[in-house]
């Protein structure tokens, strides 16, 4: 998948860096290491059964000002609520499979009939701003693990749950 060629090396830059020693400096904002092992990031389910949530990069913990990255795992049969938010999200499916329900272009109180999309390992999709959506682990044999990234939850990025979709 990767083209292998000889890289042109900028010698001045190489020299500038060659005398450095390894630094394990903490993040100046939070005291956490700058480079963090994802396996050691705490998990929470926020009261939602079957969910495991990790904040890989977040505003509170890591001082992010623009983007956040989450890692979420859904046990078989579990799902998000139907919801929408005023910021984009990009998903990458790391493991497992499931179903995305997405009601595009329907930003009213009742977003209408959603379309059903099969999601699979190594697939990606994004949720447009304010499109109502729901993610289900519809594979009864395996966890569904997704990596999600979007904007820091600022005031312009509000979220709401939708009690019922009416077709």
- Token representation of residue 158: 């509000």
State which of residues 84, 85, 119, 146 lies at the interface with a copy of itself (CB under 8 A). 119
Q: Does 35 bind a copy of itself (CB under 8 A)?
A: yes
Check the annotation: does 89 bind a ligand: yes
Nearest distance from residue 144's CB to a copy of itself, in Å? Answer: 10
The dihedral through the CA atoms of 139, 140, 141, 142 has a sign that is positive
Nearest distance from residue 56's CB to a copy of itself, in Å? Answer: 5
Check the annotation: does 133 bind a ligand: yes
Q: Does 57 bind a copy of itself (CB under 8 A)?
A: yes
Q: Does 135 bind a copy of itself (CB under 8 A)?
A: no
* Cα–Cα distance, 116 to 121 (Å, whole number): 17
The residues, any chain, with a CB within 8 Å of residue 100's CB and separated by 6 or more, are 116, 117, 119, 125, 133, 134, 135, 136
Check the annotation: does 156 bind a ligand: no
State which of residues 100, 132, 135, 146 lies at the interface with a copy of itself (CB under 8 A). 100
Identify the helix (H) or strand (E) that includes residue 149. Answer: strand 144-151
Which residue positions form the known binding site for Zn(2+)? Answer: 83, 85, 89, 133
């Amino acid at each position: 998948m990767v083209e292998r060629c000889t890289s042109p090396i900028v010698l001045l830059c190489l020299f500038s860096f060659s005398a450095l020693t390894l630094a394990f400096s903490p993040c100046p904002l939070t005291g956490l290491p700058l480079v963090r092992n994802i396996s050691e990031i705490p998990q929470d389910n926020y009261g939602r059964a079957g969910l495991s949530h990790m904040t890989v990069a977040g505003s509170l913990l890591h001082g992010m000002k623009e983007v956040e990255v989450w890692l979420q795992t859904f046990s078989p049969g579990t799902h998000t609520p139907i919801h929408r938010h005023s910021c984009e999200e990009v998903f990458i499916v790391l493991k497992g499979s499931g179903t995305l329900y997405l009601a595009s272009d329907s930003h009213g109180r009742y977003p209408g009939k959603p379309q059903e999309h099969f999601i699979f390992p190594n697939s990606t999709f994004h949720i447009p701003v304010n499109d109502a959506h729901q993610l289900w682990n519809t594979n009864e044999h395996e966890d569904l693990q997704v990596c999600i990234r979007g904007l820091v939850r600022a005031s312009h990025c509000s979220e709401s749950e939708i009690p019922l979709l009416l077709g």
